[in-house]
Every structure is written in structure tokens, then in C-alpha cells.
């Protein structure tokens, strides 16, 4: 969130964090090149085909996969570097963004591919992402968890038992029971002491006892009245 990846990571480690997670692989590389080490590991979870997977493996960075194409490239990087990749499988339980979806044979095809290549990879993690955990009264988050357990069961039946299970973003961490926190929680905005959604969850300090570590300020450019019912902005 613009605070500088190195000082934020150092602060997290000093506060007791045992894992560091980044959106992009180049960010994870920055952490490793800065000499930052944590007991659990460093994971990058947006890793499109064409990323520098060889460097990632040399720097001991865990990688997330959600397609066979990604996994094929990571395996080739492992063969070139003689390093067995550490991989977290992302499954789509309802976000409809990244992750393997158990329709249209995507998930079944992936499981079949794993049977052929699983000796080449250390599958250390399984994860998903909540779409509306900041609205705790909705049933969809529990539905996502139920769906996730089905993926986990099918992966186990394929002979793969990941050590690290993670599902909770900031909203999930703050609103779900500790049993849903699994092995790892992925704090984003909550790490800065802010509420994921003030409208549905309330103020971070009042609702969760968090202290904001950042403020957002902007200059006022213009104020104007617009006709009721008129369109605003794109679309």
C-alpha cells in the first residue's frame, strides 16, 4: 500500500510474522535480495507464465499455481536449476478470479497431470481467497469453505497432502473463528490497522481494537452539484 516493501516486511518480522507473502514475484525477489528470511517462507501468488521461475527457485521462493501451463514452466525451471520447486495450489471456491475451478474439467485435468509429474514438485500448500468475507452475515463465505474442503479431499485422494492450508484474508481473519484460520492467514489492509469495510464491519479500532498505521490524504479539486439520477463516471 505504498509504504515500501522492505520496511513493511521488516516490521512484520519484528512483530512475529513467520511468513511473508507478495502479490508479484518481483516483490518476493526484492525481499530475498534484501536478505529477509522467515521460518515459514516467502510466497508469491500472482505468477503468470513467463515469470523468472529459475530466479525464484534459486532464492527459495514458494510459488502459487492455478494452471497446468504455470506448473509446466515451474517444473522446467526446477529441472534446469536442479531445485525441487515448493508450490501452493490455488483453487477457485467462489472468487472467480485466480485459481483452479472444478468445472469444465480444469480441476480434473490438473489432478491427472499431477499424477504424472508430482515427483518433480513439492506441493507444500493449498489455498483459496474469499470474495465477501467483509460481509459476515452472508452465507457465501461458508459455502466457499465447504467447497474448499471438497478440493482438499480430492487432492488427498490423489495422494497429495499439503502442509500449509490458507484461506483467510484480513476480513476472514477478523470475522471467522480460529478454526478457519488454518495454517496461515494472509493479512492485507488489516495489517495496517484498517477495517476491510467500515460499512459492514465498522471502524477498525471500535470493532477490532486495531490502531491505524496509515492515513490517506488528497487535495480537493472540485465540488459541484449534479442532477438527481444523472450518470456519473465511466459506465
77-132 pLDDT per residue, tens? 999 999 999 999 999 999 999 999 998 899 999 999 999 999 999 999 999 999 99
Q: What is the pTM of this model?
A: 0.91
User: Is 66 a residue whose pLDDT tops 80?
Assistant: yes
Burial class (CB in 10 A: 0-12, 13-18, 19+), 206: exposed
When computed from its CA atoms, the radius of gyration of the chain, rounded to whole angstroms, is: 20
User: Is 45 a residue whose pLDDT tops 80?
Assistant: yes
Burial string for 33-61 (b: 16+ CB within 10 Å, else e) reads: eeebeeeebbbbbebeeebebbbbbeeeb
Backbone angles phi, psi at 141, to 5 degrees: -70, -40
> In the prediction, which pLDDT does 2 show?
80
User: Is 215 a residue whose pLDDT tops 90?
Assistant: no
Residues 6+ apart with CB under 8 A from 215: none
CA gap 235, 222 in Å, rounded: 21
Q: Report which secondary-structure segment, H or E, holds 128.
A: none
Q: What is the pLDDT of residues 135-170, one digit of tens each?
A: 998 999 999 999 999 999 999 999 999 999 999 999
What mean pLDDT is reported for the chain? 95
Amino acid at each position: 500500500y505504498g509504504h515500501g516493501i522492505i520496511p513493511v516486511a521488516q516490521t512484520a518480522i519484528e512483530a512475529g510474522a513467520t511468513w511473508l507473502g507478495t502479490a508479484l514475484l518481483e516483490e518476493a525477489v526484492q525481499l530475498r535480495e534484501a536478505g529477509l528470511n522467515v521460518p515459514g517462507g516467502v510466497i508469491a501468488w500472482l505468477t503468470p507464465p513467463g515469470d523468472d521461475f529459475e530466479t525464484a527457485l534459486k532464492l527459495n521462493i514458494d510459488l502459487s499455481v492455478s494452471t497446468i501451463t504455470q506448473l509446466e514452466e515451474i517444473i522446467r525451471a526446477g529441472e534446469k536449476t536442479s531445485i525441487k520447486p515448493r508450490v501452493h495450489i490455488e483453487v477457485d471456491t467462489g472468487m472467480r478470479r485466480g485459481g483452479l475451478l472444478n468445472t469444465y474439467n480444469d480441476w480434473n485435468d490438473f489432478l491427472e497431470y499431477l499424477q504424472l509429474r508430482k515427483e518433480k514438485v513439492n506441493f507444500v500448500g493449498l489455498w483459496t481467497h474469499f470474495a465477501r468475507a467483509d460481509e459476515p452475515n452472508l452465507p457465501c463465505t461458508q459455502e466457499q469453505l465447504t467447497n474448499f474442503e471438497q478440493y482438499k479431499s480430492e487432492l488427498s485422494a490423489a495422494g497429495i497432502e499439503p502442509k500449509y492450508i490458507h484461506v483467510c484474508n484480513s476480513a476472514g481473519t477478523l470475522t471467522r473463528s480460529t478454526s478457519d484460520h488454518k495454517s496461515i492467514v494472509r493479512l492485507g489492509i488489516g495489517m495496517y490497522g484498517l477495517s476491510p469495510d467500515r460499512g459492514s464491519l465498522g471502524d477498525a479500532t471500535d470493532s477490532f481494537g486495531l490502531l491505524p498505521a496509515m492515513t490517506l490524504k488528497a487535495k480537493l479539486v472540485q465540488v459541484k452539484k449534479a442532477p438527481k439520477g444523472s450518470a456519473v463516471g465511466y459506465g
